[in-house]
Amino acid sequence: MLRTMAAGIGTAAAAPIVPGFAKSTTQAGKPKRIIFFLQNQGFDPYTAIPKGLKEDAALDSFKLEEPIKDLKPIKDRLHIINGLHGQHTSPSHSAFFGALGGYRGGIGSPPRGATIDHVLSRNLPETILPHLCIGMDSLPNMRSRPTLATLSATGPGKPIFMHSNPQDLYQALFGSISTGEVRERYEARSNVLNSVERIAVQGSRSLPTGEKERYSSYTDGFRDMNGLRSRLAGISDHLKKFAPVYGEKFTNPEFETDWHDSLLDLGISALKSGITNTLTIGSGRGEIFGAWKGLGVDKQGHNLGHMPQPNNEIWVKIRQYNCRMLVKMVKELESMPEGDGTMMDNTVIVYTSNNADKQHTSGANWPFILIGNPGGPLKTGRFTQMEKRPINDLYATLLHAVGAPVDRFNMAKSLAPTYRSKVGPIENLLA
């Protein structure tokens, strides 16, 4: 019971709940939040690279490809990157934790270290919930496995669970301001969790030292989650301004995309309200599953990865759906004043796949799209063709952008020459 319930805690158990609320600690002009969006089954570069482009260039005179045409309103904020690699992550079918960790992954393999999204969250302004992960899948999968950990981690063997049931996540984030049945479930669950925490702590006292240490990871999780609920309840008046409408898409979804949209709304609300600074979205939840019947796509799961993506009607629909989600996040953050500009002026969005360029991949080419240039450290409105540097070097570049420079990210000096990793950031991505 403890193992199952602790899994549902998400990042509350995976990371320490810090005091304060949207407390700015980074340097002026540095990013204040970051979003990762990973689509499973691969990201074929030819669904994104404008025709004829083979070397570094500005995007302003090029037409965006059909799958990403919905990014046109934010074209000047884009940086399309091709030629990075992740061969060392073993990404066939998925690199799992290795996609954001930059290390060897694999189905069923625990994370070998902290992933870049979580490391960045530790270098951004402190928030009540340091890191929120949401995962989108088919309705049956989201209902049967409302939480799943495959992409993000706080350290070796410490995964962060993605929330896939928007009803549960709404209750966790906004239960203190809800009414009716949602409020009743929230209060009932709070009472149960408080009781379980007390029982669990008492039960651990008689355990041998080794068992007590393992058991504490669960008891600490309950303590952190109950603390999170208390802190969110303490800012209930503030949360009322940002809670999404709890309507039919939450309670009675016709298609999985209804829940995808609901999860996205919750992620945006968490960012706009300031209760988190890092959002990771796993479309397909880091595996080879996923469904998009709401887009008129009947095929799902593993079979989608056996289709070529360029000029494929199904993948055009999925990629365009992703792009509409990206644009929605940009527009929502642009609507929120912050400092002398908006929240988007202080945000970076990273779009890629946990499968590099395709489902059965060697990881030899791993495309990315960056959106945003908070404070000016990153070039935008550009296409950059890389010469086979590892994805770890991009992650080191992001750490430089948030004012936390490193020589390398999760890449031992002894392995660096083998995988063409260089010291410091990728200079031609920086302004």
Evaluate whether residue 89 is within a structural domain: yes
CATH of the domain at 408: 3.40.720
CB 172 within 8 A of CB 229: yes
Say how far apart CA 317 and CA 322 lie, in whole Å. 9
Alpha helix stretches (DSSP H) within 35-179: 98-101, 116-121, 139-144, 166-174
Say how far apart CA 316 and CA 294 lie, in whole Å. 14
Evaluate whether residue 223 is within a structural domain: no
Antiparallel, parallel or unpaired: β 78-82 and 382-385: parallel
With H, G, I as helix, E, B as strand and everything else as coil, classify residue 177.
helix
Evaluate whether residue 244 is within a structural domain: no
With H, G, I as helix, E, B as strand and everything else as coil, classify residue 356.
coil
Phi, psi (rounded to 5 degrees) for 367:
-75, 155
Residue 101 has pLDDT above 60, yes or no: yes
| Cβ-based neighbour number of residue 61 at 10 Å | 7
Average pLDDT over residues 33-54: 96
Say how far apart CA 122 and CA 403 lie, in whole Å. 12
Nearest Cα residue to 242 out of 278, 211, 267: 267
Q: Note the pLDDT of residue 224.
A: 61
What is the percent of the chain where pLDDT is above 70? 82
Angle at 105 between CA 366 and CA 82, to 5 degrees: 5
* DSSP conformational letter for 172: H
Domain hosting 338: range is 9-175+250-429
Say how far apart CA 127 and CA 108 lie, in whole Å. 31
Evaluate whether residue 222 is within a structural domain: no
Q: Note the pLDDT of residue 232.
A: 84
Burial grade of 105 (CB within 10 A; 0-12, 13-18, 19 or more): buried
H or E segment and range at residue 242: none
Model confidence pLDDT, tens digit, residues 354-370: 999 999 999 999 999 99
Q: Note the pLDDT of residue 13.
A: 39
Of 26-40, 52-66, 71-85, 182-196, minimum mean pLDDT range: 182-196
Confidence of residue 130 (pLDDT cuts 50, 70, 90): confident
Give me the chain's average pLDDT, please: 88
Confidence of residue 267 (pLDDT cuts 50, 70, 90): very high
Evaluate whether residue 264 is within a structural domain: yes
Residue 145 has pLDDT above 90, yes or no: yes
Burial grade of 416 (CB within 10 A; 0-12, 13-18, 19 or more): middle
Evaluate whether residue 342 is within a structural domain: yes
Residues 301, 151, 104, 323, CA torsion sign: positive
H or E segment and range at residue 106: none
Burial grade of 424 (CB within 10 A; 0-12, 13-18, 19 or more): middle
Q: Note the pLDDT of residue 16.
A: 35
Of 205-219, 287-301, 374-388, minimum mean pLDDT range: 205-219
Q: Note the pLDDT of residue 110.
A: 95
What order do you get walking across the sheet with 158-163 strand by strand? 57-58, 382-385, 78-82, 368-371, 347-352, 33-39, 278-283, 132-136, 158-163, 147-155
Residue 68 has pLDDT above 50, yes or no: yes
Residue 173 has pLDDT above 60, yes or no: yes
Is the model's pTM score more than 0.85? yes
Residue 235 identity (one-letter amino acid)? I
Which residue bears the tokens 């540095």? 30
Evaluate whether residue 210 is within a structural domain: no
Say how far apart CA 194 and CA 180 lie, in whole Å. 21
Of 36-50, 80-94, 162-176, 241-255, minimum mean pLDDT range: 162-176
Residue 9 has pLDDT above 50, yes or no: no
Total structural domains in the chain?
1
* DSSP conformational letter for 377: -
Evaluate whether residue 295 is within a structural domain: yes
| Virtual torsion, Cα 190, 195, 196, 201, nearest 10 deg | 130
Residue 188 has pLDDT above 70, yes or no: no
What is the percent of the chain where pLDDT is above 90? 73
Confidence of residue 20 (pLDDT cuts 50, 70, 90): very low
Q: Note the pLDDT of residue 374.
A: 85
β partners of residue 421: none
Measured N-to-C along each axis, helices 180-204 and 166-174 cross at an angle, to the nearest 10 degrees, of: 80
CB 397 within 8 A of CB 429: yes
